[in-house]
């Protein structure tokens, strides 16, 4: 089994492993790994000193083939206190994902602490892998990303709270950063909190927005997720994100919901 989702084969070019495949098809990537790849590009772009990545929004422009991705990153709005970046992943010259990320100057050491920072209790016993979307393609992403549920379940409908982690590196020979790993796992929030039967009323996300108030740890990520929707309107998944040290932020996904006749 490969040790990473991608192998870098040239500057900005990454071969995708079959383990990037999502739950709906062995031929299309789960959006988590390529989204994390765009975060990696943003983190590696030289920015002003003392700034941190605070928000990433990813738009999925269509199915992402399990194929080589070409990644480019640029600065949209330079600045010393806030800076806007944009990264794009393309397949055969066609953009497949585009992400924008805000870099913001870190708060000073004397900035007041406010708001709720505590997170869910960290389990005393080792977190064990639970069944996850057993009806779906299980030989890709779902085979190497573990979910351990506090409530709900990977084969049930409704809100859920779960710890998630990847057992693979993102890029061969590298260790994932906390931001990369959080985005890779957070894209599964709509999967752990399925609100409708995906065989009759599928709802698939076309974006992912992650905002973090502090740098996440590398390790298990906790998703406290609920998917909300209804007839004649839309569907979203709203998720509170934490790590072993407490709350880190929130993610939102907009989903395209439909009926299968």
Q: What is the pLDDT of residues 106-157, one digit of tens each?
A: 998 999 999 989 999 999 889 999 999 998 998 999 999 999 999 999 999 9
Return the closest-CA partner of residue 243 out of 146, 175, 178.
178
On whether the CB atoms of residues 176 and 43 are closer than 8 A, the answer is no
Number of residues that make up the chain: 261
CA distance 26 to 133: 14
Whether residue 31 is predicted with pLDDT greater than 90 in this model: the reply is yes
| CA dist., res. 67 & res. 64, Å (int) | 8
Closest CA to 70 of 7, 13, 9, 11: 13
Q: Tell me the HSE value of 59 on the side-chain side, using a 13 A CA sphere.
A: 7
In the DSSP assignment, the letter for residue 260 is -
> Residues 57, 143, 202, 194: is their CA dihedral positive or negative?
negative
- Quick one: pLDDT band at residue 1, thresholds 50, 70, 90? low
What gap in Å lies between CA 129 and CA 96, rounded to an integer?
A: 31
**pLDDT score of 2 more than 80:** no
Q: pLDDT tens for residues 7-29? A: 999 999 999 999 999 999 999 99
Phi, psi for 189 (deg, rounded to 5): -60, -40
Whether the model clears a pTM of 0.75, i.e. scores above it, the answer is: yes
Mind listing the pLDDT tens digit for each residue in 223-258? 999 999 999 999 999 999 999 999 999 999 999 999
Calculate ∠ Cα 150-153-158, nearest 5°: 105
What is the band of 201 on the pLDDT scale with cuts at 50, 70, 90?
A: very high
């Amino acid at each position: 089994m490969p040790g990473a989702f991608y192998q870098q084969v040239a500057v900005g070019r990454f071969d995708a492993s079959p383990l990037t495949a999502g739950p709906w098809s062995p031929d299309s990537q789960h959006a988590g790994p390529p989204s994390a790849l765009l975060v990696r590009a943003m983190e590696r772009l030289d920015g002003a000193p003392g700034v941190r990545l605070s928000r990433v929004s990813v738009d999925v422009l269509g199915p992402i083939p399990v194929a080589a991705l070409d990644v480019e990153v640029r600065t949209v709005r330079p600045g010393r206190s806030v800076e806007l970046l944009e990264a794009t992943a393309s397949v055969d010259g066609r953009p497949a994902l585009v992400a924008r990320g805000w870099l913001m100057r870190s708060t000073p050491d004397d900035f007041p602490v406010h708001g709720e920072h505590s997170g869910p209790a960290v389990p005393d016993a080792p977190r064990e892998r639970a069944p996850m979307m057993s009806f779906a393609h299980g030989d890709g992403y779902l085979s190497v990303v573990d979910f351990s549920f506090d409530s709900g379940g990977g084969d049930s409908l409704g809100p859920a709270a779960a710890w998630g982690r990847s057992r693979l590196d993102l890029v061969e020979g590298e260790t994932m950063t906390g931001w990369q790993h959080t985005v890779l796992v957070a894209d599964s929030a709509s999967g752990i909190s399925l609100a409708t039967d995906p065989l009759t009323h599928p709802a698939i996300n076309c974006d992912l927005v992650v905002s973090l108030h502090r740098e996440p740890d590398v390790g298990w990520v906790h998703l406290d997720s609920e998917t909300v929707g209804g007839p004649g309107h839309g569907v979203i998944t709203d998720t509170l994100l934490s790590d072993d040290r407490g709350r880190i932020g929130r993610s939102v996904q907009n989903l395209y919901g439909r009926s299968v006749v």
